[in-house]
Amino acid sequence: MARSPDVVITPGMQRYIDRNNAYLARRGQYIRDVVKKMRFDTIAVHGLYTVEDAIEDYQGAIIEPVFMSTSQAYRDSDEMAAALAYLIPTWCYSRIANPSTYYYEWTLALLEGYGFDGETACCSTSSGMAAIMTAVQPFLVHTSHHVHEPRNFVATAQCYGGTFQQFNVRLAEERGIECRWVEDSSNIDEWASKIDKNTRFLYGELPSNPGQGFFDIKLVADLAHSHSLPLIVDSTVATPALLRPICHGADIVVHSATKTLTSSGFGVAGAVIARKGLVTSVPNDDLKNDFSLYIKYLPNRDFGPNLHPMQAILSLNDMRTLRSKMDLMSRSTMKVAEHLQRDKRVERVEYLGLKDHPLHELASKYMWLVDAEHDEQYDKPVNRYGHLMSFCVKGGPEKARLFFDKLQRIWRATDLGRIKSVATIPGISTHLQQGEEGRKLAHIPMNMVRLCVGAEHPDDVIRDIDQALDQVK
């Protein structure tokens, strides 16, 4: 971070800075020499928490401890001054940084950066919505003294209902920052036609919730960069086990860790992962060099959307088995989708894994089970498409609700990404607030059921669906 001009470095502060620089150099080398050579599962299990860390600092605790402390005490004023000037890493105050959230952040930075030859960093947030807000706000600042500086951004209309509201209501209606929706995100010309000199970033969700929208990440990233703009991607549905957008040129990835990343349903959490040295026309070197650290130390310090350390460790613990869970749940979802496709009482089954889905080929270019080629079960790359799908019940909204009400094992909830199968009707829940026009824009008919298949045996999920369909008369 750029040093503020009125910080005077005393010899005592310099000793702390030197000591910490030596520590950071050792950590950097450990990441380069050891962690970057580990497979995905090993990183998911261990992250940056080592036996040495545990023994030296945490009484040998094999699980990362939950630091339920608001703040850190310092040895003396020199250490405090260096810490509060951000000249050394610090846990100064839990709204800014905390050792438990630190381990959560590093695991996510490393997983999203798996296979990427640059550096990534992560800033934890209290929720997925907070992740989106904190990822986009820094690009919307005024860059001139023009009071009515026009600003806009371009985003995929097929997105999570909360995102639609944040962009359409909070940013556009309430703050006058124009949101330009891309209706068909697989059409690169539509993206291009929406960009002008006042555009600040491109934003895309993929695969989208619930509509299974998908776009060519590399093409859109190249388009963004040709205008000196960053590409921000919501990768909640895919998780880094299936897709790592930064490897394909995206600058920032946002996650609702509430969902598939954790799948336990133990709480709400989010994350912003950015590659270092991102592309933007906003003149701010700290933001460009290390976006995650920048938002952590400055805007998020001032806005306060921080993650609780207890939740950080709960979420971290759930991510350790991400790859195998995604494999299992993706395979089961495929089975359920194929079954539904054969059922005459159902129309429009949307799942990217289905061969006749219009975006199947494009999604297959990007969605791969990480490390399948190193898994003796597969020994070669295999496509996996996640556990979110949707379908429409024939006969309209009433029939869809009838079917929905008869489900026994599948939970009725406005939730997704669970280890337990969960279904919702987006039109009366997640996508209710955006109204009919908004739903049309996002391709969400009222008889659409969103289903997220969990880790049960797929036969039992199918049995539940069948008995519910049998009762729709």
Ligand X SMILES: *Cc1c(COP(=O)(O)O)cnc(C)c1O
95 neighbors 304 (Cβ within 8 angstroms): yes
* Per-residue x/- track, 337-376, ligand X (CB under 6 A): ----------------------------------------
- Pick the piece of the chain touching ligand X (CB under 6 A) from 54-62, 122-130, 220-228, 418-426: 122-130
How many chain residues touch ligand X (CB under 6 A)? 17
Question: Distance (Å, rounded) from C-alpha 385 to C-alpha 333?
Answer: 9
Choice from 86, 104, 160, 181 touching ligand X (CB under 6 A) = 160
Task: By CB under 6 A, name the one of 250, 268, 352, 393 that touches ligand X.
Answer: 268
Interface region with ligand X, contact rule CB under 6 A, candidates 170-178, 232-240, 272-280, 406-414: 232-240
Q: Which is nearer to ligand X, 209 or 424 (CB)?
A: 209
Closest to ligand X by CB, 185 or 236: 236
Among 29-37, 193-201, 252-260, 371-379, the segment contacting ligand X (CB under 6 A): 252-260
What is the contact mask toward ligand X in residues 369 to 408, using x (rule: CB under 6 A)? ----------------------------------------
The yes or no reply on residue 300 touching ligand X (CB under 6 A) is no
Among the candidate windows 17-25, 91-99, 159-167, 353-361, which touches ligand X by CB under 6 A? 159-167
Binding residue for ligand X (CB under 6 A) from 236, 239, 262, 447?
A: 236
Contact between 426 and ligand X (CB under 6 A)? Answer: no
> In three state form, how does the secondary structure of the chain look?
CCCCCCCCCCHHHHHHHHHHHHHHHHHHHHHHHCHHHCCHHHHHHHCCCCHHHHHHHCCCCCCCCCCCCCECCCCCHHHHHHHHCCCCCCCCECCCCCHHHHHHHHHHHHHHCCCCCCCEEEEEECCHHHHHHHHHHHHCCCCCCCCCCCCEEEEECCCCHHHHHHHHHHHHHHHCCEEEEECCCCCHHHHHHHCCCCEEEEEEECCCCCCCCCCCHHHHHHHHHHCCCCEEEECCCCCCCCCCHHHHCCCEEEEECCCCCCCCCCCCCEEEEEECCCCCCCCCHHHHHCHHHHHHHCHHHHHCCCCCHHHHHHHHHHHCCHHHHHHHHHHHHHHHHHHHHHCCCEEEEECCCCCCCCCHHHHHHHCECCCHHHCCCCCCCCECCCCEEEEEECCCHHHHHHHHHHCCCCEECCCCCCCCCEEECHHHCCCCCCHHHHHHHCCCCCCEEEEECCCCCHHHHHHHHHHHHHCCC
Question: Min. distance of Cβ 257 from ligand X in angstroms?
Answer: 7
128 lies in the binding site for ligand X (CB under 6 A): yes
What is the nearest approach in angstroms of ligand X to the Cβ of residue 454? 15
Task: Find, among 214, 235, 184, 248, the residue nearest to 361 by Cα.
Answer: 214
Q: Any contact of residue 464 with ligand X (CB under 6 A)?
A: no
Q: Closest CB to ligand X among 382 and 428?
A: 428
Among 41, 79, 112, 234, binds ligand X (CB under 6 A): 234
Does 263 bind ligand X (CB under 6 A)? Our answer is no
Q: Which stretch binds ligand X (CB under 6 A): 142-150, 231-239, 356-364, 432-440?
A: 231-239
- Tell the smallest beta-carbon distance from residue 186 to ligand X (Å): 18
Q: Judged by CB under 6 A, does residue 101 bind ligand X?
A: no
The answer to whether residue 129 forms part of the interface with ligand X (CB under 6 A) is: yes
- We find the least distance from the C-beta atom of residue 126 to ligand X, in angstroms, to be 8
Residues 6+ apart with CB under 8 A from 63: 313, 317
Least distance from C-beta 262 to ligand X, angstroms? 10
Cβ proximity to ligand X: between 217 and 237 the closer is 237
State yes or no: residue 162 binds ligand X (CB under 6 A).
yes
Instruction: Judge contact between 71 and 92, C-beta under 8 A.
Output: yes
Nearer to ligand X, 237 or 334 (CB): 237
Binding region for ligand X (CB under 6 A)? 127-129, 160, 162-163, 205, 209, 234, 236-237, 256, 258-259, 268, 270, 416
